[in-house]
Amino acid sequence: MITKSYEILKSSEKLSKCNIFLLYGENEGLKNDIVKSIKITVSKKKKFDIQSIYEDEVLKSDENFYNSIFSGSLFSNNKIITIKNCSDKFVKYLENIADGIPENIILILLSDLLDKKSKLRNFFEKDKKIICVPCYLDNERDLNIIALSELKKNNILISQESLNLIVEKSNNDRNNLRNEIEKIISFSASKKKIDTRDVRAIINFSGEYKSDIFINE
């Protein structure tokens, strides 16, 4: 079942009713936010062990993978398992576990962009019991909402012009955006109202934000 990213972030009911998710696309920041939201939602009721593996590890030893799902540990039977770099090769495992996965196991698959012919994507889109979330790049409106929310939490006032500079510098990536906001939050410790000149200096804005991203990295 396909679900919009904003719906999954707002609906704890959807998160609590499903235990297999596919997050695909180029927006790593959005995928991180959704994974965090899933973990927070399911952990409200009971404690979960967190595991993170790559698809290659599953391909090398599918026995270990099946054991991690169907065999509980001595200390906890509840697990959130994140599997990175998933591809169409993972479909055969889903076919074996999708209908019989224990309720105390949460499986989160992370993948890059998947085209419409992808077997993995089609598997999720056709099954109403599991959730598929496309994670495409953020638009300007998305980034404005995130920036305003973060600044408001920290009681920081900036102009719309300054906000536009921060959004532009982020290069459509919410991780970059949060990095720039962190710089402003640090600066605001001694100055709550920050003008545009301050913002330009803080985020090292030159107008060539696509290359400036390497400086931040």
User: Do 185 and 156 form a contact (C-beta atoms < 8 A)?
Assistant: yes
User: How far, in Å, CA of 148 to CA of 43, rounded?
Assistant: 28
Which pLDDT belongs to residue 14? 65
Closest CA to 154 of 180, 195, 192: 192
User: Do 50 and 136 form a contact (C-beta atoms < 8 A)?
Assistant: no
Which pLDDT belongs to residue 211? 43
Mapping DSSP onto H, E and C, the string for the chain reads: CECCHHHHHHCHHHHHHCCEEEEECCCHHHHHHHHHHHHHHHHCCCCCEEEEEEHHHHHHCHHHHHHHHHCCCCCCCCEEEEEECCCHHHHHHHHHHCCCCCCCEEEEEEECCCCCCCHHHHHHHHCCCCEEEECCCCCHHHHHHHHHHHHHHCCCECCHHHHHHHHHHCCCCHHHHHHHHHHHHHHCCCCCECCHHHHHHHCCCCCCHHHHHHHHC
Which pLDDT belongs to residue 74? 43
Which pLDDT belongs to residue 205? 61
Specify the residue for token string 């959807």.
14
From first to last of its 217 residues, the chain has per-residue pLDDT tens of: 888 887 777 766 666 678 899 999 999 989 999 998 888 888 777 788 888 999 999 999 888 888 888 875 444 578 899 999 999 999 999 998 888 888 888 999 999 999 999 999 999 999 888 999 999 888 888 899 999 988 888 888 888 898 898 888 888 888 889 889 998 888 887 776 788 888 888 887 654 444 444 444 4
Which pLDDT belongs to residue 206? 52
**Full-prediction pTM beyond 0.95?**
no
Q: Would you call 206 exposed, middle or buried from its count of C-beta atoms within 10 A (0-12, 13-18, 19+)? A: exposed
Which pLDDT belongs to residue 215? 45
Closest CA to 105 of 93, 123, 114, 118: 93
| AA identity, residue 119 | K
